[in-house]
Amino acid sequence: MRRTALLVSAALLTGLLPFAAAGPASGADDPAPVPVDNFEGEIPFANPPAEGIFTWGSDSDDPPTLELAARDDAPQGDKVLSGTYDISGYGGFTHDFAFAEPAHDWSASKGIRFWWDGRDNGKKVNFELKDGGANGEASELWTTSFTDDFTGWKQLEIPFTDFTYRTDYQPVGGIDQVLGLTEMWGYALTLPVGVQDRFAMDGVELYGKADQALRANVVTDAAVYPVKEGRSAAVKITVATTGSAPIEEPVTVAYETAGGTGEPGKDYTPVEGELTFPAGTASGTSRTVTVATLRDRTGENAETVPLKLTVTGAKAPAENPQVVIDAHGLPYLDAKLPVKKRVADLVSRLSLAEKAGQMTQAERGALTAPGDIAAYDLGSLLSGGGSTPTPNTPEAWAKMIDGFQLRAQATRFQIPLIYGVDAVHGHNNLVGATILPHNIGIGATRDPQVAHDAGKVTAAEVRATGIPWDFAPCLCVARDERWGRTYESFGEDPALVESMETVIQGLQGAASGKDLKRDDKVLATAKHFVGDGGTEFGSSTTGSYTIDQGVTKVTRQELEAVHLAPYQDAVDRGVGTFMPSYSSLDILGDAEGPVKMHANAAMLNGVLKGRMGFDGFVISDWQAIDQIPGDYASDVRTSVNAGLDMIMVPYAYKDFHATLLDEVRAGRVSEKRIDDAVSRILTQKFKLGLFEKPYADTSGASAIGSAKHRAVAREAAAESQVLLKNAGGVLPLKKSQKVYVAGSDADDIGNQTGGWTITWQGSSGKITDGTTILEGIRKAGGSVTYSKDASAPTAGNDVGVVVVGETPYAEGVGDVGNGNDLALTAADRAAVDKVCAAMKCAVLVVSGRPQLIGDQLGDIDALVASWLPGTEGDGVADVLYGKRAFTGQLPVTWPKSEAQLPINVGDPVYDPQFPYGWGLTTLTKVPSGGTATLKALAVAASLAERAGSEEAGRAIVGKARLLVQQKVGQQITSAVAKPFADADHLLLTGRYARAVEKLAAAYAAA
């Protein structure tokens, strides 16, 4: 799923309050303005911690250019700040005050103003203040925006009352969430996305005189108060001040019940009055207004009773609270009825607009106002990669999602949201969660129980934070290691992928869906349907991607055998949702050419929902319908008619909702199709028990990152290690040995967890809790010397361990050719050369795909494919030191060179560095007897196959494999590699006798 690393584009802020009108609006007795920036050169271009102006962006192309330019029309002085921008992700500039100096006090002023040279491009610009905290990069962020809908210079004034606390991203865990103004660290502007343009700015200054409304505000303890019919709602009204000082002037709050869908005297008893908070009242003082509802005996939908608040002497709440009389007495609310009947009843009651809302999924950080959940009857929200609450804790996740669910209670039928997240190797957005190996490592274990247990841990930690839906597992069959998503695949063999689909039961429980109501299960998503692992190199048209989101060109036979096969198993296992691929499918010989999967009705409606019998719902990928050829209306109708039931439109939820309504009303999308989509969505919501329990059940939160869960991840990490070479029995290490550890990935939790960890792309460094490989080695062994770049003296050590590999990436950003290749870095190569020249050495490759070892292989005594093992480096140390045996096998072919790609098991020409299925072992006795033993194993395999004994068959083929590997050593020729790889595929498909025959052929060729 494509994600932005941080949701900071101006598009997220379209609903914030506009700037005041141009020109001075200050009173005659106001103080003189206080300059912040004149842009005459008094503030340098400099980065923190020094005071200065600096740029930033999501990648190297996104930071704007800046200069101090002399202009005759400069509103103040001679120069202005000007620049150009062309931003695809996010970008802008900041003025930070010096970290070593005291913060600035802006509390005496009314607001901030500046001159802007309008371009009339209709785009919104985000303006942000940095308040409180340690410095400008560790402060609270407060934001608003303005629209560039004018031409020429215009002075824009922003009262500080217009700024709102940022909920989509905060660099700190929250300080007091009050715009205090007494410790200001500067400001920042986020420039528009998707337009190439210039800008100019001048004369930033503070204006006006502060009034109490800047320091005092009235808040309510909630925005929505659901209450059962006949009971009373208590609305707590509180006065609060900056710095918790007593209020200086009286504050009055007039209140009255007015408007809404509830009928006064019939549904509730009207209330009206006034509360007074006298001067000197302590900050935090509360009063309560009680609204009593009335009981009748008829079943009804929910009804709203807004409580209008009129505040004098302080800032009023952003919105009036509303009491909601719960829906009651309607069949869909009866948990004893079959789900099918509940769904039919509810669908029959919904308006077209409410149905369209159920089909709409928005990004949580993109909501322009929390009330939009009810206003648009939204069916779902999600967190993209790195879209987290502040602070990023289990408690904050649960509180955030409960807040969203509370908003959904203000709709007519109180349909709960289904909140989704990409938990692709544990609850990977959450700091402190248990991060498991990525799928490629799970595939290397060849252990379906490991996959199941990984799903089980993930589900428990995700659900404990209030999230019932996981966009996992990826069931792609990765056929080209140049793909930046290779590590999301269990492997290159569809039979291997199918064997790992036990993860679905780990996530969901029973195939019937009966376990989905449990507090440790989540709805799973089979993705990306279909063929995303088979895209042709160079076929992508997405930005600088080379292979991701490209075109998969296959015969129909190849499509069925390779890419479709795992998805039937997912349907049979009862997976609740499917997600189509960004890629296009080109079935050779059908004369249709490439068809975007999000528009592929033949595959979604015909194959998935028709032939395969999938009865869950289909969710689109991130903004994926935008890639369908045609205008937006065409994108909407094409995707929905093709079989998409819910559309992930992270920023465009309003446009999608309106457009879908238009398409239905125009007859281009049938109401029958809408009813089918909504029925599928509601079915899963009922199965999840969300109508009865919409809020987070945090009873399992104590298990997040627990020793028990980390033990599962440790076991998975250990089983995922693939021993490719072990000359002279270097591994396992002995505790008595002095070990020299080096390499870029030895002591880096970010590198060993990879992409999709805390943020979308992941990042190097200490990004979450866990044990690095170095820490694991130190705990498991004896004397350890560590030198990242191998610059420390090597003398006196017995053996070296060099941990090298990739730095994190996700999706097409990691494509080879998009700034990436499969070669080790120069620093890693140098570390390998130095250590392996000085002593016996083991090289561990931490990566999401095979790396090209090439001419260094001969100098390496032991080589381990460590993949991306997650947070539990102890698991890697367990096999290094012989606490458990190496048992992992290659889930993908390890190539000799990039020129060989794509290379896969079953290819007619097959001459890799290491074949698919290769994996040496330790602590295990290899059978002797050569050909005679293989013949005996072939007989036993045939008997196991006839008896249908998987356990026996796997054990027999495993013995034959070890015997062959021992004879082959490192002399892996094409004649050996091809039958060896074929044998592993045959094993996974239950053809044990044929597998042993292939291994015998490899033995003979060795």
| Residues acting as catalytic residues | 621, 811
With 0-12 / 13-18 / 19 or more C-beta atoms within 10 angstroms meaning exposed / middle / buried, residue 406 is buried
Residue 329 CB partners (closer than 8 Å, separation 6+): 298, 299, 300
Count of residues for the chain? 1006
- Assess contact for 886 and 721: CB atoms under 8 A: yes
Beta strand pairing status for 285-292 and 196-207?
Answer: unpaired
At 433, give phi and psi (nearest 5°): -70, 165
- The 3-state DSSP class for residue 167 equals coil
Query: Cα–Cα distance between 345 and 332 in angstroms, integer?
Result: 6
Q: Provide the token pair at 257.
A: 């019940």
Helix (H) or strand (E) holding 36: strand 34-37
Long-range contacts formed by 507-511: CB under 8 A, 24+ apart: 507/455, 507/456, 507/458, 507/459, 507/470, 507/472, 507/473, 508/459, 508/573, 508/574, 508/575, 508/576, 510/574, 511/572, 511/573, 511/574
Residue 816 CB partners (closer than 8 Å, separation 6+): 481, 482, 484, 537, 546, 547, 822, 898
Residue 946 CB partners (closer than 8 Å, separation 6+): none
Beta strand pairing status for 739-742 and 799-805?
Answer: parallel
At 592, give phi and psi (nearest 5°): -90, -20
C-alpha distance from residue 366 to each of 7, 121, 167, 649 (Å): 8, 21, 10, 10
Helix (H) or strand (E) holding 866: strand 862-867
User: For the chain, how far is it from start to end, CA to CA, in angstroms?
Assistant: 44
- The 3-state DSSP class for residue 257 equals strand
- Assess contact for 193 and 87: CB atoms under 8 A: yes
